[in-house]
Amino acid sequence: MTFTWVDARYFDGLLAQRRQVFVSLDAQNRRLIIHDRSGAEVDIWPLETLRRLRDDAGIGLVLCSGAVDPGEARLVLSNARAIAAIKAACPNLSKTTVAGRTWGKIALWLGASATALALMIFVIVPALAGRLAVFIPPEREARVGSSILRQIERILSKEEAGVWRCTNPKGQMALEQMAQALQQGQEFPYAIQVGVVDHAMINAFALPGGHIIVMRGLIDMAETSDQLAAVLAHELGHVAQRDPIEQALRAAGRAGLLSLVLGDATGGAALALAGEALISAKNSRDVEARADDFALAQMTKAGVSPEALAEFFELLLEEMGNSALDLGWISSHPPSAARAAHTRAAVQGKRDYKKTVSPEQWQAIQQICAE
């Protein structure tokens, strides 16, 4: 079915003014030809590109060509015979397509959205996390830490709840004595709770609310009780600076934004991401330097030689080489010659240093995960 010289109204998308035109259907060559009132060709639309637009005014068949932006040129037909012929010749008339210019607009919009999301995730959220952390009350922070601890248990353990923690009483008492000795002269808004997880990872990390977790692998690596004390003192430094709650807010904020984008609005996802972030938290040099200085000050108060922290840095690199940079505590707190030298500079040559725990207590800590 074809037709020629049917009246129609044409909008070129450039001017609001409509033009009265003639339209002819060339079914053999699969095209719709638009003529002006003098008979000259105005445009030719391939039938494969024709798409029907919504007709809210009930004025007839409104067409556009998929080769152009639907917001631009359009054609309005009211002749029933012409409308029937076009519908018969174009079975995909109502198929949704996205034109070339529209794809460009979509790509531009997606690029701008991705840039805005990245700006929020990597710039705005971290900046806000640091400011918001100081307003979190200690009791709320403690509850957040407990929730994250449960998420970490799910991440690290395949065992039933409650058995992933090492609970040898003598070892736990000795560990708590060590942590207590390193808190001299410091007041925390919550009780420091230190525990050991039966996991081979060489790691230790602090959680919001005063939780400090030490992995069995780190205790196995340490050669002396002083080296473990140095690690605990460093983590206490993060607690004193409230780094864990800032890290948790940063991770939860990112998770919240991603949840809005991806459609997962569960709080568990944010807590899980916060837990993973705290296990492998990579702080800035300034944050690590402050934690080092706190550790050195507290070790000095407790009578522990600051050299132990440098020894532990060197032990990790010596035992594991460069591969250590991808694992556990060393990847989160990468040691360097400068940091080792800084810790050794705090050693007081004429002072007699002591241990925070006895040899028997150190042995109990080493066996804290034993049955």
Is residue 307 annotated as part of the catalytic site, yes or no?
no
Cβ-proximal residues to 61 (8 Å cutoff; 6+ apart), any chain = 52, 55, 76, 77, 78, 83, 86, 87
Cα–Cα distance for residue pair 20/34, rounded to 1 Å: 10
Q: Which of 141, 153, 235, 246 is catalytic?
A: 235
Q: What is the phi-psi region of residue 199: left when phi exceeds 0, alpha when psi lies from -120 to 50, beta otherwise?
A: beta
321: exposed, middle or buried (Cβ count in 10 Å: 0-12, 13-18, 19+) = exposed
Cβ-proximal residues to 321 (8 Å cutoff; 6+ apart), any chain = none
Question: How would you write 59-124 as a 3-class SS string?
Answer: CCEEEEECCCCCCCCEEEECCHHHHHHHHHHCCCCCCCCCCHHHHHHHHHHHHHHHHHHHHHHHHH
Q: E strands along the chain, which residues?
A: 3-11, 19-26, 31-35, 41-46, 50-53, 61-65, 74-77, 193-197, 204-207, 211-215
Using alpha carbons, select from 352, 367, 329 the residue that is nearest to residue 175. Answer: 367
- Known catalytic residues? 235
